[in-house]
Structure 1
Amino acid sequence: MQTDVNPRHLIGRKAFDRTGSKIGTIDEVYLDDATGSPEWAAIRTGFFTRDAFVPLEQSRLVGGVLRVPFDRSLIRHAPDLGVGRHLSPAQELQLCHHYGIMVEGVRETWPPDRDFGHIAGEERD
């Protein structure tokens, strides 16, 4: 994700998949606890009025909308983890596995046990 984007400014923006199909509206942005970088967006999809988590690493803010490099169908079938609370390492692993995200230096295909998920604007302990 672009480093000059304030995560709070993403909330309320529309999100589109890699083909240009509308996914929904960004409800929340989750930050990496170690770096403070935006890592995940919870997008209100309209599919049974739930939020789907989408990784932000390769997403781009273009013309005021978020463009994500995944198909709408993949996003639609993302694990339903609920929103408004911290993502646990196990939940993040589940999401990374769903999106096929691999991280260097990790055995098998699992990403490391990094703790992501505090919400933009939320105070941390």
Structure 2
Amino acid sequence: MFEVEDIREWRDHDVVDDGGHKIGTLESIYVDTATDQPAFATVTVGLLARRRLAFVPLTGATVGPGYLKVPYSKQLVKDAPSIDTDGVLPAEDEPAVFTHYDLKYQTGAGGERRLARR
């Protein structure tokens, strides 16, 4: 897995799918609040007038020269829950992000959020 400090260097680099097709550009990293490890990234997708930030898990992602490769198809990422480019992920929308990728969602012991932007 990536160290938070390392992955920040990849901001604005291309994000490509498992077939090498460009999905968009890396915008930010969300860490798992239980481990403080990178868990999801947001990717800028869409046309200029309708850009948004789609969420994609970082599990299984690899870095290459100028890109981050995720093990998900371009279409799956583009169909993922998203926020406006200047938006914030509401706590009540977190489960949908995990569900989209068939990942288990669980809040912290005290009901804390699972994701935090870094």
- For the superposition of Structure 1 and Structure 2, which TM-score range results when normalised by the shorter chain? 0.7 to 0.9
Gaps of at least 5 residues in structure 1 are: 103-110, 121-125
Q: How is 1:20-99 mapped onto 2 (pairs within 5 angstroms)?
A: 20-47=20-47, 48-82=50-84, 84-85=87-88, 88=91, 90-99=92-101
- Secondary structure of 1:30's counterpart equals strand
Contact 2:27 2:42 in 1 (8 A): yes
Greater strand share, structure number: 2
- Report the Cα distance in structure 1 between the residues aligned to 2:69 and 2:24, rounded to whole angstroms: 11
In structure 2, the partner of 1:106 is none
Gaps of at least 5 residues in structure 2 are: none
TM-score (norm. length: structure 1): 0.75
- Report the Cα distance in structure 1 between the residues aligned to 2:4 and 2:117, rounded to whole angstroms: 18
Q: CA deviation at 1:13?
A: 1.3
- Report the Cα distance in structure 2 between the residues aligned to 1:84 and 1:61, rounded to whole angstroms: 26
Greater helix share, structure number: 2
- Report the Cα distance in structure 2 between the residues aligned to 1:5 and 1:100, rounded to whole angstroms: 27
Question: What do you get for the CA RMSD once the two structures are aligned?
Answer: 2.1
Q: CA deviation at 1:43?
A: 0.4
- Secondary structure of 1:81's counterpart equals strand
Q: Of 107, 112, 115, which residue of structure 2 is paired with 1:113?
A: 107
Instruction: Kindly tell me the number of residue pairs found equivalent between the two proteins.
Output: 111
- Report the Cα distance in structure 2 between the residues aligned to 1:38 and 1:10, rounded to whole angstroms: 13
In structure 2, the partner of 1:108 is none
